[in-house]
Structure 1
Amino acid sequence: MLFSSLDPALQAHLLRGSAERRYEDDQIIQQRGEMADGFWLIEAGEVMVGQFLREGDFRAVALLGKGDSYGELAVFSNRPRIVDAVSRGQSTLRHISAHRFLDALGNYPASMRALLGALSHQLQDTLSLLAGMRRGTNPARMAELLVNLAGEVRREARVEITQQELAELLGITRVTANAALKILQQARLIERGYGTIIVRDRDRLMKFALD
């Protein structure tokens, strides 16, 4: 995430001037169409990012957790936000003012270069994800999603997420998501629990996603 690429001194400066905000489960944090007056840093809990459909259903595209930041791109572009964000359970976030961020950034040239690198990395990941969605089978796409959600843990990792949420993130039905998870479990790559997926071996799961 972009905030983590900033100079520690700049991070501290931004946090000192930020406002702490707490949200309950399913509470809307931001809405599509709003002008970006800042970006968010998640201190505790999780946030689902996506879009509300006309029917009122929420279509998730990302699940973010502690230490993740989002909303920086809207700040840079000075355009309305293109995604909605909803708290998943109770969450605590820091709202970092766009004005404070952009004013301070000019004093940290190394952070500007780091941001460019982080943005390039995000773009590469997005293009890779789009390519995978076009060519991959549902089990392979599910494997890649679980690898991303597991983070950098090389061996066993616990991912707290429901089958419905996984289905929404992949844009498939819950039945299709369940079938994909069953294949991964039969291959002994994951274990399923109530609202939990245990990734047994991240490297093996990634290999499955790429094969």
Structure 2
Amino acid sequence: MSRVLQFEATQRSLATPMLFASLDPALRAELVAGSRQRVFADEQIIQQRGDPGDSFWLIEEGAVRIGQFLPDGDFRAVALLGGGDSYGELAVFAGKPRIVDAIARGESRLRLITAGAFLEALARYPASNRALLGALSAQLQDALSLLSGLRRGTNPQRLAGLLATLAGDGVGGATVTITQQELADLLGVTRATANAALGELERRKLVERGYGTIEVPERERLAVFALG
């Protein structure tokens, strides 16, 4: 089995299950074996809006920021994905151009899986179609929940929820490697607002700020605070 398939996504901003991870292990191994690996330097553009949706990406190592470039050239991230995550499958299914930009966060290794190879292999694994439908449904539910969450809760609560997700599913503490600008982008607020929210969490001893990192002493307490 490919080493890629043993990875678990770490420190990503979404609780949403990735579509690739829902596939049959044998199908995943087949797709990885037939894929092409590419290495991207930190901040290198991986894809841009308008690119053909003729393939999708599997993150083997490193991390990828998903979002959009603004007219002034700044990048506004909406999601941070880690090793084992995949993205771009929806463009493949829709047969439409990509609607997001993606850039590497640190040196990252990705595999490019073409639409033809994916759809052809998927036809030989009918059970994976049901699994994909379940993953797609979960993604839609999470998207609706996110939209609802944007309308409620204070900024510290929303930040707490984001950091709890980034901290993973483990019990106890965790270290989240992320910048304040990235936090601001993911929350959809200014850096000053994100900094103020982070300060409130630190005052409550829910987090500890470091250089480019945030220590989460107890993920459970952070998650409880996020719920209000």
Equivalence for 1:69? 86
Letter in 2 for 1:71: G
SS class of match (2:46): strand
Aligned ranges for residues 70-109 of structure 1 at < 5 Å?
Answer: 70-109=87-126
Equivalence for 2:210? 193
**Deviation per residue, 1:137-190 (Å, 9 max, x gap):** 100110111112112122111110011110111111111111111111111211
**Deviation per residue, 1:10-51 (Å, 9 max, x gap):** 000000110000000111000001111111011111110000
SS class of match (1:151): coil
Equivalence for 1:19? 36
Q: Where in structure 2 are there 5+ consecutive unaligned residues?
A: 1-17
Q: Where in structure 1 are there 5+ consecutive unaligned residues?
A: none
Equivalence for 1:122? 139
Q: Runs of 4 or more off by more than 6 Å in structure 1? A: none
Equivalence for 1:39? 56
Provide TM-score, normalisation by structure 2: 0.90
User: Shift in Å at residue 55 of structure 1?
Assistant: 1.2
CA distance in 1, matches of 2:98, 2:154: 31
**Deviation per residue, 1:54-101 (Å, 9 max, x gap):** 111111000111111111111111111000000111100000111000
1:137 aligns with 2:154: yes
SS class of match (2:52): coil
1:202 aligns with 2:216: no
Figure out how many residues of one structure are paired with residues of the other and give that number.
Answer: 211
